[in-house]
A and B are shown apart, each in its own frame.
Chain A
Amino acid sequence: MAQGGTKVREEMAGRPKSTFKTQTGARYVLDRLFAVLVALATLVGVVVLAVLLIDVFRDGAPRLSWEFITSPPSQIFPENAGIIRPLVGSLWLLGLTAVISVPLGIGAATYLEEYGEDTFFNRIVEINISNLAGVPSVIYGLLGLGIFVNLLGGITGGQSVLTGALTLSLLILPVIIVATREALRSIPDAVREGGYALGATKWEIIRSHLLPMALPGALTGTILALSRAIGEAAPLLVVGASAYLTYNTTNPFERYMALPIQIYDWIGRPQEEFRMLAAAAIIVIMVVLLLANSVAIVLRNRFQK
Chain B
Amino acid sequence: MRKLALEAGRTRSAPENWRRNSRARELRERVIKLALTACAYLSILTTFGIVLVLLFETIGFFRKQSIVEFLTSTRWSPTTGSFGILPLVYGTLTATIIAVMVALPLGLLAAIYLSEYASRGLRRWLKPALEILAGVPTVVYGYFALTFITPFLKEHLFPNIGSFNALSAGLIMGVMIIPTVASVSEDSIFAVPQSLREGAYALGATKRETATKIVVPAALSGIVAAIILGISRAIGETMIVTIAMGAQPIWGGSPLDGMQAMTAYIVQVVGGETPRGSVQYQSIFAVGSALFVMTLVLNLVSYWFVRRFREIY
Q: Are the CB atoms of B243 and A264 closer together than 8 Å? A: yes
CA distance A34 to B109 in the complex (A): 9
Known: A111-B39, A132-B43, A234-B263. A52 touches B109 (CB 8 A): no
- B114 contacts chain A at the CB level, 8 A cutoff: yes
Contacts of A107 in B (CB 8 A): 35-36, 38-40
Interface flags for A131-147 (1: CB within 8 Å of B; 0: not) read 11011111111110111
Q: In the complex, what's the smallest C-beta–C-beta distance from A240 to chain B, in angstroms? A: 7
Q: Are the CB atoms of B236 and A139 closer together than 8 Å? A: yes
Q: Are the CB atoms of B49 and A147 closer together than 8 Å? A: yes
Q: In the complex, what's the smallest C-beta–C-beta distance from A42 to chain B, in angstroms? A: 4
- B41 contacts chain A at the CB level, 8 A cutoff: yes
Q: Are the CB atoms of B175 and A108 closer together than 8 Å? A: no
Chief secondary structure at chain A's binding surface: helix
Contacts of A41 in B (CB 8 A): 105-106, 109-110, 113
Which of B128, B232, B291 is packed against the most chain A CB atoms within 10 Å?
B128
Query: For residue B204, which residue of chain A has the nearest CB?
Result: A22
CA distance A46 to B52 in the complex (A): 41
CA distance A127 to B52 in the complex (A): 19
Q: Are the CB atoms of A227 and B56 closer together than 8 Å? A: no
Contacts of B291 in A (CB 8 A): 136, 138-139
Query: For residue B299, which residue of chain A has the nearest CB?
Result: A134
- A201 contacts chain B at the CB level, 8 A cutoff: yes
CA distance A182 to B296 in the complex (A): 24
Q: Are the CB atoms of A203 and B40 closer together than 8 Å? A: no
| One of B135, B136, B140, B285 near A263 (C-beta < 8 A) | B140
Contacts of B276 in A (CB 8 A): 150
Q: In the complex, what's the smallest C-beta–C-beta distance from A299 to chain B, in angstroms? A: 11
CA distance A126 to B183 in the complex (A): 21
> Looking at chain A, what size class is its interface with the partner chain?
35 or more
| One of B8, B44, B54, B140 near A202 (C-beta < 8 A) | B8
Contacts of B112 in A (CB 8 A): 38
| One of B40, B138, B235 near A233 (C-beta < 8 A) | B138
Residues of B near any A CB (own CB < 8 A): 5-6, 8-9, 11, 14, 25-26, 28-29, 32-33, 35-44, 46-47, 49-50, 52-54, 56-57, 105-106, 109-110, 112-114, 116-118, 124-126, 128-133, 135-144, 146-148, 175, 178-179, 182, 204-209, 211-214, 229, 232-233, 235-239, 242-243, 263, 266-267, 270-271, 276, 284-285, 288, 291-292, 295-296, 298-300, 302-303
18 other contacts beyond A45-B175, A52-B140, A173-B42, with CB at 8 A cut-off?
A31-B207, A35-B208, A51-B148, A111-B37, A124-B44, A134-B233, A137-B236, A138-B238, A142-B266, A142-B285, A199-B5, A199-B14, A202-B33, A203-B32, A205-B9, A230-B137, A234-B238, A285-B137
20 A-B pairs (CB sep. < 8 Å) = A22-B204, A30-B206, A30-B208, A49-B133, A103-B39, A104-B39, A125-B44, A127-B303, A132-B43, A135-B236, A139-B236, A142-B284, A146-B52, A147-B49, A193-B6, A202-B8, A203-B9, A234-B267, A289-B137, A301-B124
Closest 6 CB pairs of A and B: A136-B236, A231-B137, A146-B53, A107-B39, A41-B109, A38-B113
